Chains A and B, each alone.
Chain A
Amino acid sequence: EIQLQESGPGLVKPSQSLSLTCSVTGYIITSGYDWSWIRKFPGNKMEWMGYISNSGSTNYNPSLKIRISITRDTSKNQFFLQLNSVTTEDTATYYCARIGYGYNFDYWGLGVMVTVSS
């Protein structure tokens, strides 16, 4: 069974970087498919942030392009999100997900809530 689990600090100060880890079990991230980060803001708006492909290339939402980096550690079967220069508007629940056939999201983590506050 494929499972994804997000982890990372629940509180980040403004202007600092937000760093999250997605640990994947039940599937090798280099075997195929792409791996994504998505966030849900208070008020329920959802935003796709970007993905890292099984070959290691990346594609980001242009709204975040100058602040975001998605990387991976294939030895640990993990991928990571770094979001720089955060503000209170980055307060959200962050999800990692697998991009399935047809570019929908077929497996999700439970999400991790991150608050940006001083």
Chain B
Amino acid sequence: DVQMTQSPYNLAASPGESVSINCKASKSISKYLAWYQQKPGKANKLLIYDGSTLQSGIPSRFSGSGSGTDFTLTIRSLEPEDFGLYYCQQHNEYPFTFGSGTKLEIK
């Protein structure tokens, strides 16, 4: 299975700041990485797929980059609603696998 190493585990930032979350695959997954946001009481939200493609309806302050084994999710100008748990997931091969999650908290 492809192991996904996500960092940092926790992240604290203030509204208006920019943050980055990293995801490293144990082998090349080409461009096939997705990012999700998870918040209590809400359905998980697909933010980015294919490494850098913004899902419909997602604000442009979210962006993804990377290919091969190293990927980054960047959130510019944090809004209060952006705080929550973020996961990466490789969708290059079965079984699909997820990173361990990053908790983005308000500083």
A residues lining the B interface (CB < 8 Å): 4, 44-48, 59, 61-63, 95, 97, 100-110
Residues of B within 8 A of A95 (CB): 44
Contact A100 to B32, CB < 8 A, known contacts A48-B97, A63-B95: no
Q: Confirm or deny: B43 has a beta carbon within 8 angstroms of a beta carbon on chain A.
A: yes
> Are A105 and B101 in contact (CB-based, < 8 A)?
no
Residues of B within 8 A of A45 (CB): 98, 100-101
The minimal Cβ–Cβ distance linking A37 to chain B, given in whole angstroms, is 12
> Are A102 and B32 in contact (CB-based, < 8 A)?
yes
The minimal Cβ–Cβ distance linking B85 to chain A, given in whole angstroms, is 7
Pick the contact of A105: B46, B50, B97 (CB < 8 A).
Answer: B46
> Are B46 and A100 in contact (CB-based, < 8 A)?
yes
Beta-carbon nearest neighbor of B45 in chain A: A108
